Structure 1
Amino acid sequence: MAAGTRDRILDAVEQLLLERGAQQVTLEAVAAAAGVSKGGLLYHFKSKDALFAGMVRRLGERADSQLAEAVEQGESVAEWYLAPGDSTDAREVALFRSMLAVMRSVDGTDSEVQQALVEVMRSWDSGLQREIDDPVQAEIVRLVGDGIYLAALLGLPESEPVLHRKVVKRLLSATGAKPIKAKRP
């Protein structure tokens, strides 16, 4: 499948999820919004579950790409996971939109969508576990990072930047990870 068509379809499903919610998203509506036929959509995504799972996997790909770049620049996995979102960065905004859409698509049933989300979240968790020897400390970092990200997704007030850096520094010092760099405000 051409990346442009795939992304157009996945962008359309995200937009519809954000505007209408999962129960109101149909394959016909996604196809129309993406500018493809329903048959064309079904050629690439065999079902609504497969379409939603594709969206979740793209979210994972986007996050993995950002993580790889952060690590290449000397940031630890834990630092990346604990970083506040940047609403001025187009890639971060796309990641936020994807995560919001994913959250609207997951209905708690044992489906391909749920499995894709579990796989994505486990891959992030395994990165923290590889980096942090203490599994309890790795779990604390994951939970704090999840809370930071959820607050950003919901538009809740962010921590004051100096306080945020102090929290992250203390948390990372407890893990034995390298100290946080001062690249983020």
Structure 2
Amino acid sequence: MTSTTRDRILDALESVLLDKGMSQVTLESVAAAARVSKGGLLYHFKSKDALLAGLVERLGARVEHQLAETRAKGGGVAEWYLQTPDPRDKSEAVELELYRSMLATMRTVDATSGAGGDGVRRALADLMNSWSDGLDAEVGDPVRADLIRLVGDGVYLRALLGVPPIDPERYRRVVHLLLGR
């Protein structure tokens, strides 16, 4: 986990979202989970909407960081989009942080309303559209890019719903097929 107070607050927000759901997200519950005062939370995030916007902003930063690392290792957007972290593997800490951030952010979409909720939905849609653009540009074949996108989205949907993932070896074969290996 991260160490700044702002990141501790966002980590706490993710935990509340993942453990209890959006209905339990209040400034008070997040402050308590982060072990900061409500005033301390409000210093970093002026409202619940600002807190949720901070979650999406950090998700975007984590995506950029992880995608840059994948590219530095010779990978591409498609490979990155299809990866799934193993929560037991501590060497995958960066991937797991992104995975938690994505699932937590997805939990906010249906439950948010009003202008702040629209902003979260729009920011998440913009982020996902940027991944789609990257897949389209990298893969070249729009149908194959859509298949990669749908499989990757399905992995997150299964995790969001708490459905067990498919067998890792079988999923590895799916990824190899999609990536043309």
- TM-score grouping bracket, smaller chain normalisation: 0.7 to 0.9
Aligned position for 2:166: 158
CA deviation profile, 1:43-78 (whole Å, cap 9, x unmatched): 322221221121122122222211211111111211
Give the Cα separation in 2 of the matches to 1:30 and 1:164.
Answer: 36
Mapped pair 1:5 → 2:12? no
Aligned position for 1:107: 110
Q: Output the TM-score relative to the length of structure 1.
A: 0.78
Q: Which has the higher helix share?
A: 2
Kindly report the root-mean-square deviation, in angstroms, between the aligned alpha carbons of the 2 structures.
2.3
What residue ranges of structure 2 are gaps of 5+ in the alignment?
A: none
Give the Cα separation in 1 of the matches to 2:18 and 2:145.
Answer: 32
- SS of the equivalent of 1:107 reads helix
Asked if the contact 1:18–1:100 (Cα under 8 Å) also holds between the matched residues in 2, the reply is yes
Using a 3 Å threshold, how does the CA distance of structure 1 residues 26 and 149 change in structure 2: closer, same or farther? closer
Which is higher, the Rg of structure 1 or of structure 2?
A: 1
Using a 3 Å threshold, how does the CA distance of structure 1 residues 83 and 96 change in structure 2: closer, same or farther? closer
Give the Cα separation in 2 of the matches to 1:100 and 1:168.
Answer: 21
CA deviation profile, 1:71-126 (whole Å, cap 9, x unmatched): 11111211121223322122233223222322222226452221221122122222
What residue ranges of structure 1 are gaps of 5+ in the alignment?
A: 174-178, 180-185
State the Cα distance separating 1:152 from its structure 2 match. Answer: 4.6
Q: How many residues end up aligned between the 2 structures?
A: 171
Using a 3 Å threshold, how does the CA distance of structure 1 residues 100 and 167 change in structure 2: closer, same or farther? closer
Using a 3 Å threshold, how does the CA distance of structure 1 residues 98 and 164 change in structure 2: closer, same or farther? same
Q: Output the TM-score relative to the length of structure 2.
A: 0.80
Give the Cα separation in 1 of the matches to 2:119 and 2:54.
Answer: 9
CA deviation profile, 1:103-154 (whole Å, cap 9, x unmatched): 2222264522212211221222221122122333222211111113333553
